[in-house]
Structure 1
Amino acid sequence: MALETPSTSQPNLTHKQMIEHVISLFRDTMPFNQLLGLTFVTQGEGDDTQIALHLPWQASLTGNPMQKILHGGVTATMLDTIGGLVAIVETIKQTRTHDLADLQARLLTMGTVDMRVDYLRPGRGEAFIATASIIRKGNRLVVCRMELHNEKGDHIAFGTGTYMLG
């Protein structure tokens, strides 16, 4: 996960606007996320903002045609995407600055350092939901735990990711 940010003329934003900006980068400027059909769902306000990724089942995302299950790479992508997004959002929540230029400069050097995925069961379902939570946040690194469930709540996979904050 590495980000390029378009320039903007808005120097100062609220935390909510900064979070919305980052979500739009993940949603609108990452072609692979668009190709998969990821939907970014937010709930709550301010420090209580929670983000999830939703993905409806698509035959084109099949990993094993005999079993008709979600491709493991799609699973890993969803976990990495939500982990990186939550790491950035947590950084925004804890920052005192509302300077978009500062955020964009930091986004250029943010990325995934390490990630592990544990596949718990075949990815069967009509929809998939990825969520993440912070395990530890330091000055330069954030460690997240990510989970993928289907619409019935079956736990399909979990991951641990380390993300550089820039």
Structure 2
Amino acid sequence: MLSKQEIQLWLTSVFNSLNFNKNLGLNITICESDKAEIRFAWDDKLMGNPMQKILHGGVTATALDTVGGILAIYSRLDNMDIVNQEQLVEFTKRVGTIDLRTDYLRPGRGDEFIASAKLIRSGSRVCVCRMELHNNKGDQIAFGTGTYLVG
């Protein structure tokens, strides 16, 4: 059976290998059974409004969905007996976002952004997470709720 650490390392390596995540500069900083966090730095290519120099709303929604998805995957894996990487691959192939709600609270300004997720419910088929996006000063930019298919 794979250990929690082996599963975390595998998830992080898959996450870091995705070009989309690389292009946005997303990095996993916390991956636990009840919370997850990703961070990314400001980059002009992430700008949605050049007049105000603020984060694109799609980047905000992507960060929330991504951190929620990481938590949904890991919280479900934490309750499974995973024997090998092939089982991990088969499980993650079936995971997907069912619903995502994003509430934008203020313009996305900052040098660094932190997206975090907390677990609301993790069932055998569906996982629900609550996500937040803050800047490096602690200003809350957005929050969301994500529902994920995990079984």
Under TM normalisation by the shorter chain, which class is it? over 0.9
- 1:47, distance to aligned residue in structure 2 (A): 5.3
1:33 aligns with 2:17: no
1:20 aligns with 2:6: no
Partner of 1:67: 52
Partner of 1:42: 30
2:41–2:111 Cα contact (<8 Å) kept:
yes
RMSD (CA atoms): 1.6
Runs of at least 5 residues in structure 1 that lack an aligned partner in the other structure:
1-11
Partner of 1:95: 80
CA distance in 2: counterparts of 1:155 and 1:136, whole angstroms: 23
Structure 1 counterpart of 2:128, which letter?
V
Partner of 1:128: 113
- 1:32, distance to aligned residue in structure 2 (A): 0.7
Runs of at least 5 residues in structure 2 that lack an aligned partner in the other structure:
none
2:110–2:136 Cα contact (<8 Å) kept:
yes
1:18–1:98 Cα contact (<8 Å) kept:
no
1:156 aligns with 2:141: yes
Q: Secondary structure at the match of 2:39?
A: strand
CA distance in 1: counterparts of 2:131 and 2:83, whole angstroms: 27
Spell out, residue by residue over 1:42-79, the C-alpha distance to the aligned partner (whole angstroms, 9 max, x if none).
37xx757x531111111111111111100000001100
Partner of 2:97: 112
2:38–2:67 Cα contact (<8 Å) kept:
yes
TM-score (norm 1): 0.85
Q: Secondary structure at the match of 2:81?
A: coil
The percentage of counterpart residues that share the same residue type is 49
- 1:162, distance to aligned residue in structure 2 (A): 0.6
CA distance in 2: counterparts of 1:133 and 1:73, whole angstroms: 21
1:86 aligns with 2:75: no
2:76–2:124 Cα contact (<8 Å) kept:
no
Spell out, residue by residue over 1:66-119, the C-alpha distance to the aligned partner (whole angstroms, 9 max, x if none).
111000000011001100001111112222334322221111111111101000
TM-score (norm 2): 0.93
